[in-house]
């Protein structure tokens, strides 16, 4: 049982607000309540955002045979077809009715760093097919990381840490940052029959920046244990990001801050969105922050490295690449 009729209201945080304490208070309230909030005035122009969406649409409109040439590799770079991902296996009958494209931190194949999970060369559509595509996506990757670091400074202050806590080399100095373009086909979701644009899940990492078109689809469930679950729509925000906390930050904060279940429920319209997932460096040990534990609230989770945690989460939710061989795609 569930209900999903209302829209939720989220706090808006302006990165141009000179009153940092106001931003900290708004963010802290949001993180305690739902782990979702809007970020405005982030410094990425609307003109450039429109160009990123236009380039994304151009890729997804390519013939399937062209897209499958760029099928995601073992580093999770490249194209993910419809139904490739199943985020809520207990409740989904197939997989997510979305296709996507992963772009990570560009590391040349001959660089020793490329041997690490989530690092390596990206896959790019041929220049003659999509001439400006790589240039636009690499610029967006840089711009989104800048915004994410600004948000992380406010989060640090909200957790009573130094503002530059997440800027350290082992944190976001050398991050695992992944851009994912998403296209939801024009289908009507049916939660009662296990059909979703994207199944219910929480994000794996530190924070996610989500840019969307104007088609409503994102829903959040503030209390995953409630019976029935209550799902609320999150309205798109023109020119802004919908930002949510990931499971890693919930672990770090000892469950003080929330990583909230969310999903995509489609109404028959096509929907495009662009997610930017930000995680710390590979060797960063995620363990309870000193400001988040006490004698009455001891650490709830054991320490784990970022790389080990992410590798397992990706493996749990994506199809085996072997299923695409022998013409099965």
Taking only the tens place, the pLDDT of each residue in 215-269 is 999 999 998 888 888 999 999 998 999 999 999 999 999 999 989 999 999 999 9
What is the per-residue pLDDT for 46?
Answer: 96
Res 328 pLDDT > 50 = no
Res 5 pLDDT > 70 = no
74, 123 Cβ separation under 8 angstroms: no
What distance in Å separates the CA atoms of residue 106 and residue 95, rounded to the nearest whole number?
Answer: 29
93-109 pLDDT per residue, tens: 788 889 999 999 999 98
Rounded to an integer, the average pLDDT of 148-170 is: 95
Q: What are phi and psi of 291, to 5 degrees?
A: -80, 0
What is the per-residue pLDDT for 263?
Answer: 94
Pairing of strands 36-40, 78-80: unpaired
Q: Which residue has the higher pLDDT, 323 or 296?
A: 296
17-63 pLDDT per residue, tens: 999 999 999 999 999 999 999 999 999 999 999 999 999 999 999 99
Mean pLDDT of the residues in the chain: 90
pTM of the full structure: 0.91
Rounded to an integer, the average pLDDT of 62-74 is: 93
196, 218 Cβ separation under 8 angstroms: no
Residues whose CB falls within 8 Å of the CB of residue 9, separated by 6 or more in sequence, listed in order = none
186-198 pLDDT per residue, tens: 888 888 888 888 9
Rounded to an integer, the average pLDDT of 62-78 is: 92
212, 242 Cβ separation under 8 angstroms: yes
Q: How far is CA 281 from CA 20, 294, 305, in A?
A: 27, 27, 9
Rounded to an integer, the average pLDDT of 1-6 is: 60
211, 49 Cβ separation under 8 angstroms: yes
What distance in Å separates the CA atoms of residue 168 and residue 176, rounded to the nearest whole number?
Answer: 14
Q: Which residue has the higher pLDDT, 306 or 24?
A: 24
111-135 pLDDT per residue, tens: 988 888 788 899 999 999 999 999 9
Output the six-digit token pair for 60: 């997804």
Rounded to an integer, the average pLDDT of 82-91 is: 79
């Amino acid at each position: 049982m569930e209900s999903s009729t209302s829209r939720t209201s989220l706090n808006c945080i302006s990165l141009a607000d000179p009153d940092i304490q106001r931003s900290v208070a708004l963010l802290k309230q949001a993180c305690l309540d739902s782990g979702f909030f809007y970020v405005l005035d982030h410094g990425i122009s609307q003109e450039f955002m429109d160009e990123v969406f236009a380039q994304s649409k151009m890729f997804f409109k390519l013939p399937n045979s062209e897209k499958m040439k760029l099928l995601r590799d073992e580093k999770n770079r490249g194209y993910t077809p419809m139904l490739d991902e199943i985020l809520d296996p207990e409740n989904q009958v197939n997989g997510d009715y979305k296709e996507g494209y992963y772009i990570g931190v560009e590391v040349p194949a001959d660089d020793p760093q490329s041997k690490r999970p989530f690092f390596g060369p990206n896959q790019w559509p041929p220049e003659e097919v999509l001439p400006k595509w790589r240039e636009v996506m690499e610029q967006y990757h840089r711009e989104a990381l800048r915004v994410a670091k600004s948000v992380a400074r406010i989060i640090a202050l909200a957790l009573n840490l130094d503002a530059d806590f997440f800027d350290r080399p082992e944190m976001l100095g050398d991050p695992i940052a992944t851009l994912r373009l998403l296209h939801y086909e024009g289908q009507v979701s049916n939660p009662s029959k296990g059909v979703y644009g994207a199944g219910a899940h929480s994000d794996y990492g530190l924070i996610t920046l989500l840019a969307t078109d104007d088609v409503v689809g994102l829903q959040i469930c503030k209390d995953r244990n409630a019976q029935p679950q209550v799902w609320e729509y999150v309205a798109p925000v023109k020119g802004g990001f919908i930002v949510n906390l990931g499971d890693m930050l919930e672990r770090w904060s000892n469950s003080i801050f929330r990583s909230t279940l969310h999903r995509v429920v489609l109404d028959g319209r096509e929907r495009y969105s662009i997610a930017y997932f930000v995680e710390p460096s590979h060797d960063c040990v995620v363990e309870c922050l000193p400001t988040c534990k006490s004698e009455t609230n001891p650490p709830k989770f054991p320490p784990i490295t970022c790389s080990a945690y992410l590798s397992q989460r990706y493996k749990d939710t994506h199809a085996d690449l072997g299923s695409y061989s022998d013409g099965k795609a």
